[in-house]
A and B are shown apart, each in its own frame.
Chain A
Amino acid sequence: MAIIEADGLSKTYRVFQKREGVLGALRGLFHREYKEVRAVDRVSFTIEPGEMVAFLGPNGAGKTTTLKMLSGLIDPSSGSASVLGFTPWKRDDAFRRRFALVMGQKNQLWWDLPASDSFMLHKEIYSIPEAQFQSTLDELTELLEVKHLTRQAVRELSLGERMKMELIAALLHQPSVLLLDEPTIGLDVVAQVRIQNCLREYHKRRGVTVILTSHYMRDVEALCDRVLVITRGKLVYDGLLSGIHDRFAGMKLVRLEFFESVPEGLERYGEISRIEGPVVDLKVDRDRVAEALGAILDGHAVADLSVQDPPLEQVIARVFEEGRSDHEAA
């Protein structure tokens, strides 16, 4: 049974077109023009219990909007969704007790009070039994190594420490579904890794279902096997992270080391991206790799060779790039 299901989920916004100048503003008082913007366009997918899934996409692609519909913050314009068997935007208490949303760019902790006060308030809000509250809190503060910081006013914490506190606040009531929107944004590498580890460990222990959006491929690579790629509000890929190469990267990187200097005429197999002494990097069409290698090995004395996928980050960047240029063209 799927734990999260989205079927044709769409969200359209009406955006007010502001006119220029004083006269325009005056006219705007009486007559306004609006533009329809499709933030999310017929997105469908299902997620099984215990999965960790990443939403990938450029800024403004509709990841966050999708996440907000799944958490019930906004109503979709059309389509349906079910999370834990509930329709999210009905916002049943029973539903809200079983999931959590963490937003890296916002904080819900009380700024002037120590985090522990906010935790106590969460305990009240979620009616968490004392014993469970204590043990979960101990477990999480230990996992994130912030036990000594809970009595300090939140405004005095560093960004990374604050994010850890946010995460603890979100996990206190032991949600079955955890939605994370850019949880590591603005953090340094050490803090990022700490949060990744915590999430992975927590996932292992509790089997919580996680959806994550992130700009950092490192987060995604560290945590998720499955990714959904969204550009311009549309779901363009749903599958394994490794499958992104097959789907979007038409090339493989072939590195050849010759016994002597690099021979002439390699251009006909693919684009040469680097030559250094006897070593050459070639970008070869995925379908032609076997053929090219055969020909090269036949004609030249090759000392060493390797065939690699291009770095994922580059592939994703290209997907985003395409999404954006389509967007501008449209």
Chain B
Amino acid sequence: MKPLETVPPEANSPASSVPDSIPRDIVRPNLDPNAPSGVRKFYKYIKIFRVTLVERMTYRGDFLLGTFLRFVPMATTVLLWKSIYDSSGRKSLGGFTYRQMIAYLLLTHISRMFSSMPGLAGGIARDIRDGTLKKYLLQPLDMIGYLISYRAAHKAAYITTSAFPYAIIFWICRSFFDVPSWTTIPAYAVSLALAFVVGFAFEACVGMIGFWFLEVTSLLYIVMTLNFFISGHMLPLDLLPRFWANLLESLPFQYMAYFPAIVFQEKIQGAALVRGLALEAFWACFFVVLARVLYARGLRRYGAYGG
């Protein structure tokens, strides 16, 4: 199995993270060299968002078949864990009851919906390699700003278009869920939003390595494959032996799948929850800053060597 396949949600987004040309009208509002107002600047990214959204909706055939197929692994996962619990004869494994386990695995899908960025790092690395990067230097666009609005659009399109099938799945599986208390919901929302930032900035950092090494895809494969397991997407980290569980819970990868899920399940509450969110925010800032630093340094290097 190749790791690219292990990025379940949204992998049918285009291989390239960046369209070949940015439509003219996206750039127009900002052509005025006198400092553009904040609103206008924002408008530009809204436009990118809209254009991308329209493009995504047009391909329904892909989407419908993809949705149908998405049910398959969910069904087999439910069946597998039912068998595991039945065979073990135990009520709870690693602190998860069967119901909680299924809820957890469905919730990691939601986490990954926010945190996975198929093709982002690869796209950045390719832009660096083939010189498309120059467009960010020539046009009044900030690359990270552009990419984040582009991604946000993809996510929004993906989440709206899959809201329906997911609603069906969650409705079918509603008996697995305990309704969280009203204080948990905002914490969950924050954890998901931060999961998006962590996922985006982490992938962007990996892509920036392309400034120094031409061949990043291979590294990417390894990172993504590994991430599938260490983010807790495959099974809750609590099931692992103590040592491994502790190790993986101290790494930032858990925020891309594991952490938001257990926030929803209220397995982490009170002071621990606040600390968890703070740590997640820290990692989000850390990767954003790192991406900026790498970008700035990379550009300097790029400028020095020519593209």
Contact = CB atoms under 8 A, between A and B. Distances in A.
Direct interface between A and B, CB < 8 A: yes
B-side binding surface: helix, strand, loop or mixed?
A: helix
Contacts of A25: 53-54, 57-58
Nearest to B64: A29
Contacts of A21: 54
A25 B56 CA distance: 9
A18 B57 contact: no
A109 to B, nearest CB: 22
Nearest to A18: B58
B50 A28 contact: no
A26 interface: yes
B53 A28 contact: no
B60 interface: yes
Nearest to B160: A26
A224 B63 CA distance: 49
Interface residues of B, number: 7
Contacts of A22: 50, 53-54, 57
A28 B63 CA distance: 13
A18 B50 CA distance: 16
Interface string B45-84: 0000010011001101001000000000000000000000
Interface string A265-280: 0000000000000000
Contacts of A26: 57
B54 A29 contact: no
Contacts of B63: 29
A316 to B, nearest CB: 34
Nearest to B56: A25
Interface in A5-58: 18, 21-22, 24-26, 28-29
Nearest to B57: A25
Nearest to A20: B54
A190 B54 CA distance: 46
A29 B50 CA distance: 17
A24 B60 CA distance: 13
Interface in A236-289: none
A253 B114 CA distance: 72
A206 to B, nearest CB: 43
Nearest to A27: B57
A22 B57 CA distance: 8
B21 to A, nearest CB: 18
Contacts of B50: 22
A168 B235 CA distance: 57
A28 to B, nearest CB: 6
A31 to B, nearest CB: 11
Interface string B114-134: 000000000000000000000
5 closest pairs, A vs B, by CB?
A25-B57, A25-B54, A29-B60, A22-B54, A25-B58
Given A18-B58, A28-B57, A29-B60, 13 more contacts: A21-B54, A22-B50, A22-B53, A22-B54, A22-B57, A24-B54, A25-B53, A25-B57, A26-B57, A28-B58, A28-B60, A29-B57, A29-B63
17 contacts: A18-B58, A21-B54, A22-B50, A22-B53, A22-B54, A22-B57, A24-B54, A25-B53, A25-B54, A25-B58, A26-B57, A28-B57, A28-B58, A28-B60, A29-B57, A29-B60, A29-B63
